Amino acid sequence: MDCLLCSPILYIFLIFLWYLVRILLNRNLSFPPGPRGYPIFGNLNLRNELSHRGLAKLAKQYGGLLHLQMGRIHIVAASTSEMAREILQVQDVVFANRPANVAISYLTYNRADMAFANYGPLWRQMRKICVMKLFSRKRAESWASVREEIDLMVQTLIEQSGSSVNVGELVFALTRNITYRAAFGSFARDNQDKFVKILQEFSKLFGAFDITEFLRWMKWFGNRGFNKRLENARESLDGFIDRIIDAHIDKKKSQKQDHDGLDDDMVDELMAFYSGENGERCNDSQSSSLRLTRDNIKALVMDVMFGGTETVASAIEWAMTELMKNPHELRKLQQELADVIGLNRQFHESDLENLPYFRCAMKETLRLHPPIPLLLHEAAADSVVSGYSIPRDSRVMINVYAIGRDGSVWSEPDEFRPGRFMLCKAPDFKGSDFEFLPFGSGRRSCPGMQLGLYAMELAVAHMLHSFDWKLPDGVSSGDLDMTDMFGLTAPRATRLIAVPSYRLKCPMAI
Ligand code: HEM
Ligand SMILES: *[C@@H]1O[C@H](CO)[C@@H](O)[C@H](O)[C@H]1NC(C)=O
Ligand SMILES: *[C@@H]1O[C@H](CO)[C@@H](O)[C@H](O)[C@H]1NC(C)=O
């Protein structure tokens, strides 16, 4: 009889055992805690809790890293600054993808844009164009659009001095006008209403709940109505932007080579990278290896429209609402403006750096009301966070809203206290303080931060410096409803109505 130790069977058995142990060890890592789900459907019964408020509530029960199983999709919500750091900094490459459903893929020309492109070479190229060209401080035209449109708004307010103004609608119109002008210049200005309708339909479709996303087999029941709406929405966008792009191509052809580039809009800027209808190259001094298709350009324009309109408007409206709710803070800000600038001249952007308290109030607004309350990321690979397993393709949501109101980090978290940002160790929003992430952090953070902040600060400063504000007769600050609406952004659920009265001693001059 051979000795057992020499038998090859033993070695095969040992190798088998080794693999088995490894598999078992890996499987032992469990998902983050979360509510128990039903078979097949998982936690689909909680689908209405997938908002910043719903997830904040669940996090109180299950902790800073929370797992939900929605049909076939894993959802992980991070609700503390440590978890946000883990996802956006420590393992940022794993979590740099974006989730996209059928509607988003279709409406972004199969993710030909930047905001929904997965992390990779295409995204990197488009991000470079946006950061270095479109949103850069050097591109004076974008910043001029902000200034000019705000001046127009101030004029409107002067005309309505003493009467009730729908501040919410006014600032939404303002930011739409800003992005429209920055993107298209003076083209098709008369078609703006049509474009706003297209944007609104897109916004609804982006946010629409589509069951087939979570349960593939539901496709079997068909969803003709929804698909038809998607097709219609993209058709009207095509009709609109194709004309604008064609007009820009014509303009470019008819121009001399020594064009100075003044009052170029964003579409002009993007046309420099246009690869032409049949891949023929446009011969431009700026040519580089970056090439954009027509679909890329259309989708990027939509990114700017979506990224830059509602976010900024929501921030301005919330700032004004918090100040109407906290009149002593309003007085403090207005006093600072009067002390630093005086009431004998208009506010000028160079004054901003001398207004520390005002700037803290803007930060405090973004803490309490981050315009994008949930950052949406997707895992590109299996990973382990804080000892829990997060499988590939999980949707990872960072709850910026919950983090900004975390009582273990912020004192009196639900109160509007700009003074907290005056302290020297106060966090900043540049992305390295994970308890305050209104613009996100890392690779996917907001490329339009400077521009967005500029528009917000300039608009609010003008409104507070040039006007006194009170609520309409019969409304007190205690009556103000602070609920928000949840979509891609979280604007106030009802529009703010307030009464401005011109307070400068100089006549208005533009
Ligand atoms: C107060 C104003 C704004 C706020 C609070 C804001 C906030 C954000 C946040 C939180 C993200 C996602 C970060 C992440 O997922 O980690 C984001 C992404 C983005 N924002 Fe903004 N934003 C603002 C203004 C703007 C403006 C003015 C533009 C353009 C003109 C813009 C364009 C974008 C784009 C294109 C992305 C996607 C970036 C990517 O996926 O690589 N944003 N923004
Ligand atoms: C936005 O533009 C439209 C059309 O040019 C104009 O009627 C409206 O007053 C503008 N709104 C604001 C707030 O500037
Ligand atoms: C592009 O311009 C260069 C000179 O500026 C010229 O030599 C070249 O032939 C042009 N290419 C095309 C495809 O027109």
State pLDDT tens for residues 418-431. Answer: 999 999 889 999 88
- The alpha carbon of 236 is separated from its chain's Cα centroid by a whole number of angstroms, namely 24
**Ligand 2 proximity of 316 Cβ (cutoff 6 Å):** no
Give the distance (Å) from ligand 1 centre to CA of residue 170: 22
Candidates 267, 263, 265; CA nearest to 299 is 267
pLDDT above 50: residue 232: yes
**Ligand 2 proximity of 378 Cβ (cutoff 6 Å):** no
Ligand 2: atom nearest CA of 152 is 14
Provide the terminal-to-terminal Cα distance of the chain, rounded to the nearest Å. Answer: 106
Q: How many CA atoms lie within 13 A of 221 on its CB side?
A: 8
Query: Which amino acid belongs to residue 44?
Result: L
Give the distance (Å) from ligand 3 centre to CA of residue 283: 6
Quick one: DSSP state of residue 133? Answer: I
Who's near 280: CB < 8 A, 6+ residues apart? none
What are the tens digits of pLDDT across the range 162-220?
999 999 999 999 999 999 988 888 776 777 888 888 888 888 887 777 777 888 787 77
**Ligand 1 proximity of 304 Cβ (cutoff 6 Å):** yes
**Ligand 1 proximity of 372 Cβ (cutoff 6 Å):** yes
Quick one: DSSP state of residue 374? Answer: E
What are the tens digits of pLDDT across the range 54-107?
999 999 999 999 999 999 899 999 999 999 999 999 999 999 999 988 888 888
Q: Are 454 and 440 in contact (CB under 8 A)?
A: no
**Ligand 2 proximity of 178 Cβ (cutoff 6 Å):** no
Give the per-residue pLDDT at 311. 95
Ligand 1: atom nearest CA of 376 is 15
Q: Whose CA is nearest to atom 12 of ligand 2?
A: 174
CATH of 121-502, one of 2.40.50.140, 1.10.630.10, 3.30.365.10, 3.90.1150.10: 1.10.630.10
pTM as predicted: 0.89
Among the ranges 399-403, 424-428, 475-479, 482-486, which has the highest mean pLDDT value? 399-403
Q: CB atoms < 10 A from the CB of 397, how many?
A: 24
What are the tens digits of pLDDT across the range 110-143?
999 999 999 999 899 999 988 988 888 888 888 8
Candidates 330, 266, 272; CA nearest to 469 is 330
**Ligand 1 proximity of 307 Cβ (cutoff 6 Å):** yes
Q: What is the Cα–Cα distance from 319 to 321, expressed in whole angstroms?
A: 5
What's the length of the chain? 510
Helix, strand, or coil here: 48?
helix
Rounded to whole angstroms, what are the CA distances from 397 to 35, 124, 337, 381, 392?
17, 22, 39, 16, 14
Give the distance (Å) from ligand 3 centre to CA of residue 214: 52
Give the per-residue pLDDT at 510. 47
Ligand 2: atom nearest CA of 149 is 14
Give the distance (Å) from ligand 2 centre to CA of residue 195: 14
Give the distance (Å) from ligand 3 centre to CA of residue 272: 15
Choose between 27 and 286: higher pLDDT: 27
Give the per-residue pLDDT at 305. 87
Domain locations in the chain as residue ranges: 121-502
Block residue for tokens 């609920």 = 483
Q: Are 144 and 480 in contact (CB under 8 A)?
A: no
**Ligand 2 proximity of 152 Cβ (cutoff 6 Å):** yes
What are the tens digits of pLDDT across the range 240-294?
888 888 888 888 777 755 455 556 788 888 888 887 654 444 555 444 567 888 9
Candidates 189, 170, 169, 190; CA nearest to 181 is 189
Q: Are 487 and 455 in contact (CB under 8 A)?
A: no
**Ligand 2 proximity of 198 Cβ (cutoff 6 Å):** no
Q: Whose CA is nearest to atom 43 of ligand 1?
A: 446
What are the tens digits of pLDDT across the range 493-505?
999 999 999 999 8
Q: What is the Cα–Cα distance from 110 to 116, expressed in whole angstroms?
A: 9
